A and B are shown apart, each in its own frame.
Chain A
Amino acid sequence: MNIVSAYSTKESVESVVQDLQEQFKGLDVKMVVYYSSSVHDPETISRKMQEAFPAATVFGCSTAGEIASGKMLKNSVTAMAFNAEAIEEVEVAVVENVQDDAGVEQAFARFEKKFGKPMLDLNPKSYVGIILVDGLSGAEERVIDKIGDLTDVTFIGGSAGDDLKFQATHVYANGKSYSNAAILALLKPATEFSFIKTQSFNALCKKLVVTKADEAKREVIEFDHQPAAAAYAEALGIPVEEAAGRFMHNPVGLVIDGEPYVRSPQQIKEGCMLFYCGVVEGMELSVLESTNIIEDTRKALDEAKAKLGSISGLINFNCILRTLELEQKQATDEYGALFADFPTIGFSTYGEQFIGHLNQTATMLVFK
């Protein structure tokens, strides 16, 4: 096997790292991706993970729950190791101030130096990017939009979590921990790869056009020239007082070629609606209705397997709101079991990235 996944639920960072090292024994490790519960000290986990694999490129982030082959976990660390047969080349860059567009440009200059080509000339079928970003920065769309402007290579990833404390999230690279930052990794896999973007929603016929928004605050002030919350409630045929109770079941989405790009409402504030990701004036959003996460994910995995022939490794960026819904329905074991047959890691995110910044979605990088 060229890709190996592992997890550890041991209590101390030292025991966790030793446990993972033992599980990766025998693999000549070139790259390690890991996701750590916020129970572990950020500086220590990052330093120890890099020390454990000194010759490898090691990066990761904090989480709101972890995913391993066949399991959804809490208070653990999940990791995936790749050898040179799986990953030909990898370079990691840290964008230390995610509010500054220059950070992405600097990261890309580093990639261009390493790979010897302008980012715009890289073939998106041969290269893939991973993005891990501070989940409390509120800057994800800024970073992923800038990335999308500068390259055709797909960057896929998630926003770091902190086990629903909403105090501080961390991204890890070079043996250090960073906040208000993003880790960008550019990979040249040795094998074919593909993507899954799955969300469990159908679009209803009701549409809402954003006519007034404070984009920086992710706030919709008006839909269709009416106060946002009132328009949302009217679309669902419910009193505005009941609107917040419907957010998880009925978010809204920008539907492109039949595919929803979900924007999840967070709260109602003085008649306006705050969202977990960007909403832009002029956007026509469809009201969505939830479907079955297990069935939809199984179908998406089957399609990926059919496309690639087999799966040698999968990295899952699964929205925390999906995890909460699975917990509510006592379906976490069933969800974990969907990933039992191949090396898998992942985490419960505070946002997902694939072309743009998304909510209530699972984005997955799948290796043949």
Chain B
Amino acid sequence: MAGKIKSMIDSIIEQRAKDNVMLQGVIRTKLMLKGIDPKKYTHQSDDDPAIISKLEALVKDFK
């Protein structure tokens, strides 16, 4: 399977920042400091279970 990481990242940014461009940038920075670079993932990226589990943990707090 592929593309789940990109979808999760997009969903986190969309839910948390909505249309606020400044907040979108801050959330991308927070993700990068956690070792997840949003630019690296596309809809074709492999579903790396380690990254998915990191993102699942984040989703709980980020909402």
Contacts and interface: CB of A to CB of B under 8 A. Distances in A.
B29 A355 contact: yes
Contact of B32 (A152, A256, A278): A256
Interface residues of A, number: 20
Contacts of A148: 30
A103 interface: no
Contacts of A256: 28-29, 32
A355 B26 contact: yes
Interface string A254-278: 1011000100000000000000001
Given A149-B58, A149-B61, A150-B61, A280 B25 contact: no
Contacts of B25: 257
Contact of B26 (A152, A254, A283, A284): A152
Most chain A beta-carbon contacts within 10 A, residue among B23, B33, B34 = B33
A54 interface: no
A149 B62 contact: yes
Nearest to A284: B37
A280 B35 contact: yes
B23 A145 contact: no
Contacts of A257: 25
A251 to B, nearest CB: 16
Most chain A beta-carbon contacts within 10 A, residue among B25, B34, B36, B58 = B34
B49 to A, nearest CB: 14
Contact of B30 (A278, A282, A283, A355): A355
A265 B28 CA distance: 25
A304 B43 CA distance: 40
B23 A281 contact: no
A356 interface: yes
Nearest to A149: B61
Interface in A145-201: 145-146, 148-150, 152
Nearest to B36: A282
Contacts of B23: 124, 152
B61 A356 contact: no
Contacts of A355: 26, 29-30, 33
B30 A356 contact: yes
Contacts of A145: 30, 33-34
Interface in A278-324: 278, 280-284
Contacts of B62: 149
B48 to A, nearest CB: 9
B51 to A, nearest CB: 8
Interface string B16-33: 100000010110111011
30 contacts: A124-B23, A141-B33, A145-B30, A145-B34, A146-B61, A148-B30, A149-B30, A149-B58, A149-B61, A149-B62, A152-B16, A152-B23, A152-B26, A254-B32, A256-B28, A256-B29, A256-B32, A280-B33, A280-B34, A280-B35, A282-B35, A282-B36, A282-B37, A283-B35, A284-B37, A355-B29, A355-B30, A355-B33, A356-B29, A356-B30
The 10 closest A-B pairs by CB, nearest first: A280-B35, A149-B61, A356-B33, A282-B35, A148-B30, A256-B29, A355-B29, A283-B35, A256-B32, A150-B61
